[in-house]
Each structure stands twice: as C-alpha cells, then as structure tokens.
Amino acid sequence: MEKSFSQIKELLISKGLKVTHQRIVIYHMLFNSLDHPTAELLFDKLKINNPSISLGTVYKTLDTFVQTGLAEKVLSETGSYRYDANLNSHHHIYFTDTKEIVDFYDSELQELIITFFKKKSIPNLKIKDFKLQIHGEKVDTAENQIN
Amino acid sequence: MEKSFSQIKELLISKGLKVTHQRIVIYHMLFNSLDHPTAELLFDKLKINNPSISLGTVYKTLDTFVQTGLAEKVLSETGSYRYDANLNSHHHIYFTDTKEIVDFYDSELQELIITFFKKKSIPNLKIKDFKLQIHGEKVDTAENQIN
DNA sequence: TTTAATGCAAAATCTTTGCAAAATT
DNA sequence: AATTTTGCAAAGATTTTGCATTAAA
C-alpha cells in the first residue's frame, strides 16, 4: 500500500506535473495519512523534515492534486478543508465526539447502492460518484447497532 | 409544509429558547429555503425585511439552532458552512457543476441501508445517522444512469 | 428586575493571491 | 533558456468573540 518516492514521481509525470521535492513529500505524507488531514496539519508534520516548506505551497499543491485527480477534498464540519489521497471508492465514518474521519468500505453495501441506482435513476442527474457519511460515536463495547 | 410564525414560536419554546423576532425570521427563512443557504445568503435575504439584523446574529442563531437540534450543518466544499432545517432523514445531491445541493429521499434506499447496518455493524461505532452524498452533473436528457 | 440575545466592530481563523527567487524541464 | 513552482507576506473570505445596548421572561 505504501508508495515509494519513485512511484510518486511516476504518478506526477503521468498527470503532466513537474516533479518537485515538495510535491513528492506532500503526496507521500497525504497518502500515508489515514486521518484526512488539513493543509495545516500536513504542513506541521512536513516541516520537521522539510524546514523550508511553506504553508502556501501546501495549499497550492493540494489544490493541484485535486485538480489533477490525485486527491480529493473531504467534506468536513470542522471549518477547514481536509484531504484524502485514497481514491478507491470508499465511505467515511464521522466520529461526532472525536472529530475523526475514518474510511469505510464494504463491497456488499457498494453493490446494494449501485444496484439501487441502476434500477431507479434520478431525474436530470448523471451520477458520478456517491459517498456515504456514517455519523456516530465511539463505543468500547460491542453495542454498536443502528438505532 | 410551510411553518407559521406561531408554530415556530412553539418550536423555540419547546427547545427552551427565548422567542426573539430574529430567531423566528431566521428559522422561517431557513426552513423555507430548499438550497441549503450559507449564513451570508440568509443574511442578505433577511435584511430586506429586517434592515437592523446583523450577520453576527445570523451566525449565532444558526449555531444555537444546530446546538438545540433545530437545524444541521450541511457538509460543503465551497468554503463556507451551509445550513438545513429539514430534519427528516434525507440525503443530498451535490451538483458538481452548479454547486447546488438538493435533497433526496427514497424509502426503499433507506430501508436497504438500514437493513445492511442492522446485519453488519461496524466495530466500535454506534451509528447515529447516515447521509448519502450523491455527486453528479445536471443533464437535460433522460440519460442519467450511474456509470 | 433578571437574564439572555442582539448589533456592532474588532479579532481570529482559514485560504488565496502576487511576485521575486529558485527549481524543473 | 523558457517555464513553472516555491516561499513569503499581504490580502481576502469566513466565522467567532467581546461588550454595551436592547429585548424577553
């Protein structure tokens, strides 16, 4: 799952982007983050090994990634943009208490929904993608039913 | 579907909130907006009939509504919060081209998903709610299949 | 009356922009 | 060498905050 710098280079080239050190490390950090970080959070982590990197560059680069389809913005209620380089179709669990956003995927559920929309289409809409946001609370027990 | 001012008063009282003119008109305007407006958009519309209303009050009031469960924030990619007073469980269609966010509800789909989660629960999660975001483009033809 | 909400403006937060310097092709 | 990207700081956009005034209970 981890991507090497040379794989990331290939990826950038394949999108017609210049290969810069900043793009490589930003992509690498984002791709290996499971927590859908904000630009600021990425910047803080990147600074440690790349002291000269600037927050503006992180913003610009993330925007470039979104434009070229290397990453997506994750809708968030926290007042800042969050990003995701996992482009496999997947859903998000929003933990209302901890504000974590965690990936979720289930092929059966996926099939269920796709089958539904194949059967019942929505007027004037060409569906490109759908995402389920599952909102809930962390519980330590096995008591995790839907209410 | 439309709510009268006296119905809105009752609603505010039922939530333990003081009944102010601002709260009534903000709720009324939000409840009758189908487009999931931002605070600023509501403010602009409200100003016409309530010239002394302030943007800060709109923000504070919307926040109060969210806290008391009279409204919800709608996740958005546009850089500002959008709000919704339709609290019936429903989903959202995001038109990527026009940036519109339109409500969607289908009881069959609802059942499908609920049934799925009843059968297959997610570790450490107590599901409170789920929302499907359907992303797509406006089309004028009947060609609206999922791809 | 007492308590809470409003309006206003200033502050805080988050993101974008402009441009010279640096890096990539 | 030509072009794009970066870093920086300033500007822009959005939201929150503090506090005196006003309104509600």
CB B35 within 8 A of CB B79: no
Residue A2 has a pLDDT of 85
What residues of chain A score a pLDDT lower than 50?
none
CB B62 within 8 A of CB B26: yes
> Nearest-CA distance from B88 to chain A in Å?
15
Chain B residues within an 8 Å CB radius of A131 = 132-133, 135
Residue A92 has a pLDDT of 95
Supply A41's token pair.
């959070």
Residue B134: which of B122, B147, B121, B125 has the closest Cα? B147
Residue A98 has a pLDDT of 83
Cα A121 to the center of its chain, rounded Å:
27
Bridge partner residues of A73 (DSSP) = A83
pTM of the model: 0.90
What's the start-to-end Cα distance of chain B, in Å?
A: 35
CA of A16 to C1' of D3 (A): 14
> Nearest-CA distance from B115 to chain A in Å?
9
CA of A22 to C1' of D2 (A): 21
pLDDT digits (tens, 9 = 90+) for B46-77: 999 999 999 999 999 999 999 999 999 998 88
CB A58 within 8 A of CB A46: yes
Distance set, CA B4 to CA A18, B43, B51 (Å): 59, 20, 21
Instruction: Test B136 with A123 for CB contact under 8 angstroms.
Output: no
Instruction: Test B133 with A96 for CB contact under 8 angstroms.
Output: no
> What is the spatial distance between Cα B6 and Cα B71, in angstroms, rounded to a whole number?
18
Residue B146 has a pLDDT of 64
With CA of B17 and C1' of each nucleotide, the nearest comes out as: C4
Supply A38's token pair.
């904000």
Residue A99 Cβ under 7 A from any strand C atom: no
Sequence length of chain A is 147
CB B129 within 8 A of CB A145: no
Chain B residues within an 8 Å CB radius of A66 = none
> Nearest-CA distance from A110 to chain B in Å?
10
Residue A136 Cβ under 7 A from any strand C atom: no
Residue A71: which of A105, A39, A116 has the closest Cα? A39
> What is the spatial distance between Cα A95 and Cα B126, in angstroms, rounded to a whole number?
9
Residue A39 has a pLDDT of 98
What residues of chain B score a pLDDT lower than 70?
141-147
Classify A89 as helix, strand or coil: coil
Runs of H (alpha helix) within chain B: 5-14, 21-31, 39-49, 55-68, 107-119
CB A73 within 8 A of CB A81: yes
